[in-house]
Chain A
Amino acid sequence: MARKIVITGGKGGTGKTTVCANLGIALARLNFRVLLMDMDIGLNNLDVVMKVEDKVVFDFIDVVENRCRAGQALIQDEAEPTLYVMPSCHSAKRQVTADAVKKVISRLSDTFDYILLDCPAGIDVGFRRAINCADEAIVVVTPHLSGVRDADKTITQLTANSVSVNVVVNRVRGDLVASGEMLSAFEVFGLLGHTALGVIPENDDVNCNVDLHACRKPFDVLARNLTSGSYDMYDCVSRYKGVFGRLKRKFKKNV
């Protein structure tokens, strides 16, 4: 039986899709069978981030509306043979219910070890549909006040729906944390409570999405924490502390 985990965060653009894709790759590298499912109907981007947008023949709406079998909508990753993507689409003719999606997921549940659901931003219909299909959630939050506030509201909804919550702080700028201008990941964990799962730094490779395999380390740590229950946090701050650190900070800020 697969672990069904919704990747959510409330606010738009916190890095839900990015974390979903990279965590999927890291899990597949640990030899788990992983399915990434795009639950965003309308602003679906998981296919683009996973670089499979030109391979989409069927999507999960086709499966829900019985135009194809679930297996036909799965796209295998080129580099990781145990990793699959189920894309979404721009629109659905009829309302897609959580129950219909749950049925699709339960059909695939024995084929995979992890099913990661990439949730749309916000806390309305799309969000509720996605969280209804999951037992666990990864809340992706950026260390900004508005991000933390929205994540807290999201967590309230998740706990009300008995979905267990893990928190990942994304886009942490080590230099700004060291200078005290940005909330640290640990402050964010303290504010939101629940299980601290990982820290992902702000990273140019992630941002440009040229090579998803370029920024491996933080996601590998995240995948290990998720699979083994360990509690290692990627450190992107200490290199900006001390005399040399202060110099690096100055340089980084001025470019």
Chain B
Amino acid sequence: MPSDNYNRAQAMILDDKYNLAKTGFFKELREVVTKYMECDALKVDTFSNGNLDIVITISAKKLYKQLTPVE
């Protein structure tokens, strides 16, 4: 099991490298998400596990009902 120090160091390094929160990706993601729901928080974490795992966490307050399919 990786130590807490290891997890923190890895998060820091990946954040320095990719920092999706500072890129257009994050902005566009927010736009898409807010079309479908009202949310408290939106978080993007990166983990390296051989591959790069990107975990998007959305804390949704209210999900809009989408009766008609969006094109």
Q: Are B6 and A191 in contact (CB under 8 A)?
A: yes
A107 to chain B, nearest CB (A): 39
* Band of interface residues on B: 10 to 19
- A152-187 contact mask (Cβ, 8 Å, vs B): 1 or 0: 110010000000000000000000000011110001
Task: Name B's interface SS.
Answer: helix
What number of A-B contacts does a CB cutoff of 8 Å give?
A: 33
Closest to B4 in A: A180
Q: Flag whether A149 is at the interface (Cβ < 8 A).
A: yes
A202 to chain B, nearest CB (A): 16
Point out the residues of chain A lying under 8 angstroms from B6, CB to CB.
183, 187, 190-191
* Band of interface residues on A: 10 to 19
Q: Flag whether B59 is at the interface (Cβ < 8 A).
A: no
Q: Flag whether B29 is at the interface (Cβ < 8 A).
A: no
Q: Are B3 and A180 in contact (CB under 8 A)?
A: yes
Within 8 Å by CB of B5, from A152, A153, A183, lies A183
A157 to chain B, nearest CB (A): 12
- B17-31 contact mask (Cβ, 8 Å, vs A): 1 or 0: 100000000000000
Can you list 16 A-B pairs, Cβ within 8 angstroms, ordered by A?
A145-B9, A145-B12, A148-B9, A148-B12, A148-B13, A149-B9, A149-B12, A149-B16, A152-B13, A152-B17, A180-B3, A181-B5, A183-B9, A187-B3, A187-B9, A191-B9
Q: What residues make up the interface of B, taking CB atoms closer than 8 Å to A?
A: 2-3, 5-6, 8-10, 12-13, 16-17
